[in-house]
Structure 1
Amino acid sequence: MNVIQSTNNLTSSTTKLNDYGFVVSCLFYPAHGVQYWRLWFGAVCAAVTVLATNPMYSQSELNDYSRLGQNAIGTTLVSDYQAIGVNPANLGFIPEEIIYEEPSPLQLQISRRKRNWSVTLGELGVAVHSNAMNRSNLLDAVFSFNSEQFTLADKQKAADNFTGKGVLLNADAILLGGAYQSERYGGVAFSVRERVSAEFTFNASAAQLAFLGRYYSYFDSSYTREWDGTIIGYSRSPKLYSELFDSTRISMMWTREYNVSYGRKIFGGIKNKWYLGIGLKYIVGYANLNSYVDENGQLNAYSAVTPLFNINYGKAVSPSKIDGTGMIPVGRGFGVDIGTTILISNKWRIGISVLDLGRMYWDGNVFKAEDYLLNGMSSTGFNSYNIFTEAQKIQGEGGFKWAGLSSIESTLPTRIRLGVSRNIGVMRDIGMDIIIPATSLQPGNLSEVMFSLGAAYQIRSWLHVNGGFTFGGSMGFNMPAGVMFSIFDGFWELGLSTRDLLTYISAKDPTLSIGVATARFRF
């Protein structure tokens, strides 16, 4: 396909345990009846349930490269409502008419008129990554394919595999989005976005406790409980949670964002242009769980969760307790995105954006955990890699000692995006992105810098493919890829993407993911 004419190369496109709890009781069951895995997994399920009637779309650092049409190089390329959360300056890109010459004996020409409006009725992306499990084990963890139980040797191997490693999960969706872009007014966009993210990273002690249970060498003594015959493992030299779980990280966040962004060309001619943009967001929070040991050796663990999950914090009471049931918000906040993009010689683009500047104020069902001793436990640990199911079986009768709070504040998962790309033909670009976390300890953010190289290529007037490579961000090496179909003269666009093609080739460091858009329209 040859492009004959284009008027614009920019595309629009512990407590002392009363009885034998352990780390997973603490992390997944911080008090009797408090089930962390249910929180985040339930949140994801809830999000997917909503999506069942409104297919949605993903954008978070696990899925940033599922952007429809530009994969791995979004900072300088994404436009319309998809620029929200990536680079609002790109809303200044103005759609233009493009004329294609399709390869055929008659050399037919196809014209795609400019379309200033873009709307989506829902786009979805979900990704689960683990550097502790291979592909088959991750599939088992998510879908429970394997019913075989671990032997003691299997438990030890699993504990070794999870030492210093873990699982990352993200589910993002655009419930509704739209944009209008013009030369005169610039570009304005809005979106309603659901966002769920979670991280589980174990140190050596947490991994041993999770999979070996009372067989872990930490429990150097045991006795049999008289009234039911249960064998209890206990430590004669118990340690604090903060001593045992240093470098262990458990976090989860569920929010809904209401976004409005604006971008426009500030100055420039045909070949050189400068764009600026800003985005504002009002955020409603439904869950915020964060547990880690800081650089001073202090345990930081707090929770604010919607009544939908009916959490039981034992005898702890909170001045921020919310009566009632259902999906009631427990936090609110505001955020700002800013960005700029420069076009040089109508070929090169350089983009910089700072995303999620702001804070959240959590004032519903707020609790904070205190640092206590881990004394003993009765569980024999996980019997499979399905940590989501196995966590239910560990019903420790103790756990964190919780205290209620009136409120807590947290910063948003701020990050910086840097990008450069080169146009090699209309709708054909190559480039690179760098994503730098500014608040790495906040739920929903990367823990380290992520790099990506990629290309976006229009094969036919109706077919657009993209792909690339990413590394860093605690996710190893990945190969994202996507395909987009543009039909009815560009009126209807639909696409499919994956975060990592290598998962289908190599079993190591898998990322199970999918990005889907089926109802994206331009007019």
Structure 2
Amino acid sequence: MKKVLLAAATLLTGQVTALAQSESSSYSVVSRGGVQNTFVHDYQAIGINPANLGRSTSLVSFTVAEFGAFYSSQAFTRKTLKSAMKLASDTSIGMEERIELARAFTSDNVLNLGADVNTLAISVSVPKIGGFAVSNRQRMLGHAGFNKNFSELLFLGQDASMFDNVDPNKTLFVSEIFDGSEIKMSWVNEWNFAYGRKIMELPLVNIYGGFGYKYLQGLGLYEFSAKGGKVKAYNAFSPVLDANYDDYLDDPKFNYDSADGLLNPVGRGHGVDLGLSAEIIKIVKVSASVTDLGNIKWTENLLEGQDKGFTLSQMAEDGANNNDFWKDAGKMARAIVDSALVFTPVNEMKVNLPTRFRFGAGVKIGQRVEVGVDYVAPLNKAPGNIASDFVGLGVDFSPIPVFRLSSGVSSGAGDKLNIPFGFAITSPVYEFGIGMRDVTAPFTKNNPGASVAMGFLRFKIGKPQII
């Protein structure tokens, strides 16, 4: 388990497409670039704004296996991405390509990635009582940023410039030499319940309120960060991820969870969502919510690293003296972990959920067009939270009743300017669609990325209510 940094580096350089979405599995949300606070209703309001359940559009609505995935980077170009893919396939690359990769990865926003799956979600609207919804959801999110020393060591090994500028026998600390670097990821299995209803009715304004509760099963947590002279290093992995804990099994302080169930959570917690929304003259909508208030307590397979320092001479001794780049970089990364970060078992650790504030405003223009704007701000720096504020504008357009086009523009959350697009085939009882967060991302020279969300089993039962 001392090799966790190496494993994370391998993920970032070689398996980017494996964990490839945004904060929602809903194709309609992704089609608007993440704009959603005034658009979502029925079970789609779970985790976004539970107040919108008070204005559900169907008596019963449900979906099965709706999913999405994404990755993005403000560091890559198409050329460096190709080099990284060559590296992932164990292909030898030259010094020039190695230097280019080291430069590209020297960024506080190397990579944002995630996957989001609604295995099942259902909502029921009860007249005069309100709307109820339940769901099961898998959320996997990650973020990475490297400073110059970390990136050069990862790609250049013993050719990194830090070997020329630092006394090889001087004790160095991760908190200093890698200041500004971080890798964060989380995988959580959510069981959600949400309720919303109308709480005030005025001549021109209806106001709705709602709350959501989630029971959380933590399946994976990883953080390595060196910021402001302090290091955070901890991890906990479910047996389903097949992590190697052999070095710790004889330690009485290590609370080991072996594989004896389907997912085997190693952390458990609770979260709350709160929301308000208003509908003005049945045309204008305004919504605000705070989501993911709470934490997860990780209690099994939990390790925490301490920064004990290292010397470059030790790393050089462990480095490979050959021209095979991958082996060389791998041994150098492993040398850091083995000599600098000492991992020991801990009994428990509470980690906050990625709490966010959301605000939205929207307007319906006739029966065919709806426009909305969203603003989302991270309220903490918990693993899985967005890196910066998000803003976006989304549009739904139905040229005919059974066909809907969606698009808009969005930016922030550690990402570049996005132009989303998607479509849906709709009927009174069935809907399916596909959405992309940014249609230009796969073709841009700089900062390429990819995103997709789709669902083919979305159903509605009962005559929609007029909202």
Instruction: Mark the CA change 1:458 to 1:201 in structure 2 (over 3 Å): closer, same or farther.
Output: same
Cross-structure match for 1:319: 253
**Partner letter of residue 211 of structure 2?**
I
Query: Does the 8 Å contact 1:40/1:196 carry over to 2?
Result: no
CA pair 452-427 structure 1, distance change in 2 beyond 3 A: same
Give 1:383 shift: 7.9
Structure 2 counterpart of 1:81: 43
Q: Is the 8 A contact 2:213 2:270 kept in 1?
A: yes
Q: Distance in 1 between matches of 2:304 and 2:12?
A: 17
Calculate percent identity across the aligned residue pairs.
Answer: 28
2:454 is matched with: 516
2:395, 2:293 → 1: CA distance? 29
| CA drift at 1:475 | 0.8
1:305 matched residue in structure 2: 237
Change (3 A) 1:157 1:168: same
Counterpart in the other structure of 2:408: 468
Give the CA deviation at 1:427. Answer: 4.8
The one-letter amino acid of 1:28's match is: L
Q: Which residue of 2 aligns with 1:250?
A: 183
- Report the alpha carbon displacement of residue 133 of structure 1 after superposing the two structures with TM: 1.1
Once the two structures are TM-superposed, the CA of residue 373 in structure 1 deviates from its matched residue by: 2.2
8 A contact 1:256–1:284 mirrored in 2: yes
Structure with the bigger percentage of helix: 2
User: Which has the larger displacement, 411-420 or 176-185?
Assistant: 176-185
CA change 1:249–1:305 in 2 (3 A) is: same
Pairing 1:363–2:299 present: yes
CA contact (8 A) 2:233 2:304 kept: yes
CA 1:390–1:125 in 2, change beyond 3 Å: closer, same or farther? Answer: farther
CA contact (8 A) 1:212 1:382 kept: no
For these two proteins, the number of residue pairs brought into alignment is: 447
For the 8 Å contact 1:128–1:170, the answer to whether it is kept is: yes
AA matched with 1:472:
G
Equivalent of 1:178 in 122, 137, 141:
122
For 1:382 and 1:39, locate their aligned partners in 2 and report how far apart those are by CA, in whole Å: 22
Alignment match, 1:420: 361
User: Secondary structure in 1 aligned to 2:157?
Assistant: helix
Q: How does 1:32-431 map to 2 (within 5 A)?
A: 37=10, 60=23, 67=29, 72-95=34-57, 115-135=58-78, 137-138=80-81, 141=84, 149-164=92-107, 165-220=109-164, 235-268=168-201, 271-295=204-228, 297-312=229-244, 315-316=247-248, 317=251, 319-325=253-259, 327-375=263-311, 376-377=315-316, 378-379=319-320, 396=334, 398-399=338-339, 400-431=341-372
Separation in structure 1 between the aligned mates of residue 95 and residue 162 of structure 2, nearest angstrom: 16
Give the RMSD, CA atoms, in angstroms: 3.2
d(CA) in 2 for partners of 1:516, 1:382: 44
Alignment partner of 1:495 is 2:433: yes
CA distance in 1, matches of 2:270, 2:17: 23
Q: Deviations over 1:389-427 (max 9, x none)?
A: 998676735252111101110111000001111111225
Greater displacement, 278-287 / 395-404: 395-404
More displaced 10-residue stretch of structure 1: 411-420 or 392-401: 392-401
Deviation at 1:210, TM superposition (A): 0.9
Q: Given the alignment, which residue of 444, 450, 454 partners 2:390?
A: 450
Q: 3-state SS of the aligned residue for 2:384? A: coil
Aligned residue identity for 1:157 = E
Q: CA deviation at 1:36?
A: 6.6
Q: Offset at 1:520?
A: 0.7
Counterpart code for 1:150:
I
In structure 2, list runs of 5 or more residues that go unmatched. Answer: 462-467
Contact 1:431 1:454 in 2 (8 A): yes
Which whole-Å CA distance do the structure 1 matches of 2:192 and 2:6 have between them? Answer: 33
TM-score, normalization by structure 1: 0.78
Which range moves more in the overlay, 454-463 or 312-321? 312-321
Cα shift readout 1:279-307 (whole Å, capped 9, x = no counterpart): 00000001111111243x11111111112
What residue identity is the alignment partner of 1:168? N
Query: What amino acid does structure 1 have at the position aligned with 2:44?
Result: Q
Q: Out of 358-367 and 300-309, give the one that drifted further.
A: 300-309
Shift of 1:145: 8.9
Aligned to 2:6: 28
What is the aligned partner in structure 1 of residue 464 from structure 2? none
2:373 to 432, 437, 445: 432
Q: Is the 8 A contact 2:219 2:265 kept in 1?
A: yes
Task: Name the counterpart of 2:465.
Answer: none
* CA positional deviation for 1:237: 2.8
With normalisation by structure 2, the TM-score equals: 0.86
Structure-1 separation of matches of 2:429 and 2:87: 41
Q: In structure 2, what is the Cα distance between the partners aligned to 1:471 and 1:189? A: 30
1:138 Cα deviation from its structure 2 partner: 3.7
